[in-house]
Amino acid sequence: MQRLRRLVRQRSVRRRDGAFVTEGSKLVAAAIDAGCRLEAVYYAPSALASPGPVAVLAGCRATGIRVFGLAEGVMERIADATTPQPLLAVVGAIDVGLDAVLGAPLLLVLVDVRDPGNLGAILRIAGGCGAGGVVCCEGTADLYNPKTVRASAGSLFSVPVVVGTPPATALAAIGMAGYRRAGTAARGGEDYATADLGPKVALVFGNEAQGLGTELARLLDTVVTIPMAGRTESLNVATAAAVLGFALARRSRLRPGGPYDEPT
């Protein structure tokens, strides 16, 4: 139980063990469906009263995943949520190398995005808009933080994610692979609706407060902006990722000759 608490609370332990905790029957089921390596599953007594957790536990036992019951009140001492789920699993690390995502038409690149909730939301957006990978550069929030895992709503297990690459190294490799690297800025860039981003694009998002630093400008091919009306200055980084990601997904659907071809 002490190890579980440390995995939930300490990034250093997650790194050392190459493992993290995912909570709730839906996320545990998503990890299993994605073929992740589950070290073990733990459940509180209340899990046995709900059909979702019961089904997941039965599937775990049928496939040889170790299952352990916890005494009343133990789950509350392990989990970091105010109202913890009655089921959790220890999952092996699932991040991939940069080469594994370089064939996808759309990548989302995060530079110094610090909030775990924002990171999780961007993973969910990446899954929804069809991005082929998310590159979490060095300095970005921990992929395996419980808040990130929860906010991803299972997309963590379906979208390939790269972690820990220095921003300059990642952007240089992405450029060499033929991507148009489009930085994002609150103002001063091309209007995202009309910018020519090409068939392979990497959208690059910076820190929530400071955006992208000027030192990365030489590694960008263009900068795009979402025009704001009224007094609104900018969007939250996850919201901006949603606007831009789904705009590019729409372009792909409507591309001449594609399955959604229609007059423009």
pLDDT confidence tier of residue 3, bands split at 50, 70 and 90: very high
Q: What is the pLDDT of residue 231?
A: 83
Shared-domain flag, residues 125 and 230: yes
Classify residue 24 as left (phi > 0), alpha (psi -120 to 50) or beta: left
CATH number at residue 29: 3.30.1330.30
Strands 133-137 and 106-110: parallel
Residue carrying the six token digits 């692979």: 177
Question: Closest by alpha carbon to 173, among 120, 127, 109, 91?
Answer: 109
How confident is the prediction for the chain on average, in pLDDT? 93
Any domain includes 155: yes
Tell me whether residue 23 is in a domain: yes
**pLDDT for the residue numbered 79:** 87
Which of 76, 92, 108 terminates a domain? The answer is 92
Beta carbons within 10 angstroms of residue 178's beta carbon: 11
Position 260 in a domain: no
263 in any annotated domain: no
Would you state the pLDDT for residue 261?
41
Q: Does 95 score more than 50 pLDDT?
A: yes
Are residue 109 and residue 219 in the same domain, yes or no?
Answer: yes
What would the mean pLDDT of 101-123 be, rounded to a whole number?
Answer: 97
Other CB atoms within 10 A of residue 223 CB: 18
238 with 180, same domain: the answer is: yes
Q: How far apart are CA 241 and CA 222, in angstroms?
A: 16
Confirm whether 200 is domain-assigned: yes
Is 264 a member of any domain?
A: no
Is residue 258 in a domain?
no
| 167: three-class secondary structure by DSSP | helix
pLDDT at 263 over 60: no
Both 235 and 121 in a single domain? yes
* % of the chain exceeding 90 in pLDDT: 84
pLDDT at 126 over 70: yes
Q: What is the pLDDT of residue 232?
A: 85
d(CA 235, CA 227): 10
What single string gives the DSSP state of each residue in 102-153?
A: TTSSEEEEESS---HHHHHHHHHHHHHHT-SEEEEETTSPPTT-HHHHHHTT
How far, in Å, CA of 129 to CA of 12, rounded?
32
- C-beta of residue 116 within 8 angstroms of C-beta of residue 85: no
State how far the alpha carbon of 54 is from the alpha carbons of 33, 62, 115, 243, in Å. Answer: 16, 12, 33, 38
d(CA 54, CA 57): 5
> Which residue, of 92, 121, 145, is where some domain finishes?
92
Residue 20 sits in which domain range?
2-92
With respect to residue 259, please indicate whether it lies within any of the assigned structural domains. no
Mean predicted confidence (pLDDT) in 18-29: 96
Same domain, 56 and 132: no
Tell which of 61, 92, 123 closes a domain. Answer: 92
Residues with Cβ within 8 Å of 96's Cβ and at least 6 positions away in sequence, in order, are 133, 160, 161, 162
Quick one: 121 and 50 in the same domain? no
CA angle 224, 225, 229 (to 5 degrees): 160
Our count of domains for the chain comes to: 2
The pLDDT score that the predictor gives to residue 257 is 53
Compute the average pLDDT of residues 135-146: 97
Give the CATH number of the domain where residue 197 resides.
Answer: 3.40.1280.10
